[in-house]
Amino acid sequence: MTGDEMRAQPPLGLLAELTHRCPLRCPYCSNPTELHRASRELDAATWGRIFAEASALGVLQVHLSGGEPTARRDLPAIIRHAVSAGLYTNLITSGVLTDERRFNELVEAGLDHVQLSVQDAEAGSADRIGGYAGGHSRKLAFAPIVRAAGLPLTLNAVVHRQNLDRLPDLIELALALGAGRLEVAHVQYYGWALRNRAALLPTRAQLDAATDTVNRARDELKGRLVIDYVVPDYYATLPKACMGGWGRQFLAVSPTGLALPCHAAESLPGFTFPDLRTTSLQDAWNNSEAFNRFRGTAWMPEPCRGCARKEQDWGGCRCQAFALTGDAANTDPACALSPHHALLDLAVREAAEATPDFTYREMGRAPAPAAG
Ligand code: SF4
Ligand code: SF4
């Protein structure tokens, strides 16, 4: 089947954004700039129905995320729903709200895996980046609770100019905390991160040193630590296959129940995303205009339309295309063939002159748009 004829295949994974509430205020947070309040969140029973529909559709894993998912007091009930739907459950957490008693409730509910985010390896810098005093030490206390319960642990480190030089320390931290996997992900620039881009973009020298560090550590730590490495688009000449292609492998559900082809898609204008309070997940995935708009290759403009890579990267990231060019249907500017590729070089040059100050994520305050 070609991309032009692409019909919806079953999704593999579901990102369940249970809440936008979070005690941290990371300046690169991937939540939309318009954060939803607790009163609009789906209840546990509705999540249960969505998990059952997801499982029937072919989903194998649910990533329980946010915001901070442990801000929900009913998280054990939500996990139980996912487990009874037959889903593998992965909790993506900052770890700052969960003591041993609460964590054991999650384990008893059937939690399978934990991904713990860290902002840096050095406490003062980590707390500054996360905008939460004492957060780093709470994370260090949380990781042993996970390991003592026998659950596998992944450490997530979002990296950027202000912590990238400590990547070797982040690798040491992952080992010290007993993580089996470390995700080193460069910031993706939309929403809050786009507003803070000038303070976050790494230099070329930092990026090259980090790539060397990852390659060396992968060799040295084979069998002890798996390192996933997501490289930054701003030094790329080829885009990533964002989400494995729009509506191909993954979907996200927002705290209020909108089905999204990607967690950042809610910020795209001109879309009516399916509301899972009134629409089934199957109908949303297979039949909705929002999921079908960028599925396959028929929607592509040139240069993607005639390109041999169009079924490898699917034209890159729609949210980045919109954030930088104002049109989500454009080729991702991360591609050197994009007529907008020079915007990335311009941003790198501007960042070299910028101050390290952040605009922190806050409920009820959307950041002013950054220049594209
Ligand atoms: S990125 Fe930071 S602020 Fe955003 S949900 Fe995660 S921990 Fe909270
Ligand atoms: S032109 Fe389009 S399909 Fe080709 S490499 Fe660039 S983004 Fe990918």
Residue 212 tokens, joined: 């060397």
3 lines ligand 2 (CB under 6 A): no
Alpha-carbon distances of 365 from 23, 35, 368, rounded to whole Å: 15, 8, 9
341 lines ligand 2 (CB under 6 A): no
Q: State the closest ligand 1 atom to the C-alpha of 23, by its place in the atom list counted from 1.
A: 8
- Side chain identity, residue 68: E
Position 231 scores a pLDDT of 84
Position 365 scores a pLDDT of 53
Report the alpha-carbon distance of residue 229 to residue 56 in Å, rounded: 32
Closest by Cα among 44, 47, 46, 97 to 67: 97
Residues of the chain with pLDDT under 70: 1-7, 363-372
155 lines ligand 1 (CB under 6 A): no
- Partners of 229 in the beta sheet? 184
Q: Which ligand is nearest to the CA of 18?
A: 1
24 lines ligand 1 (CB under 6 A): yes
Reported as type and span, the H/E element at residue 117 is strand 113-118
**Burial class (CB within 10 angstroms; exposed 0-12, middle 13-18, buried 19+) of 66:** buried
Look-up of token digits 């957490």: 93
Look-up of token digits 């240069």: 303
DSSP calls for 333-367: TTSTTSTTTHHHHHHHHHHHT--------BTTBPP
Q: What is the pLDDT of residues 286-344, one digit of tens each?
A: 999 999 999 999 999 999 999 999 999 999 999 999 999 999 999 999 999 999 999 99
- Side chain identity, residue 164: L
Q: Determine contact, residues 34/366, Cβ cutoff 8 Å.
A: yes
- Side chain identity, residue 207: L
Position 363 scores a pLDDT of 67
Position 109 scores a pLDDT of 98
Q: What is the pLDDT of residues 74-101, one digit of tens each?
A: 999 999 999 999 999 999 999 999 999 9
Report the alpha-carbon distance of residue 226 to residue 229 in Å, rounded: 10
313 lines ligand 2 (CB under 6 A): yes
Q: State the closest ligand 1 atom to the C-alpha of 66, by its place in the atom list counted from 1.
A: 5
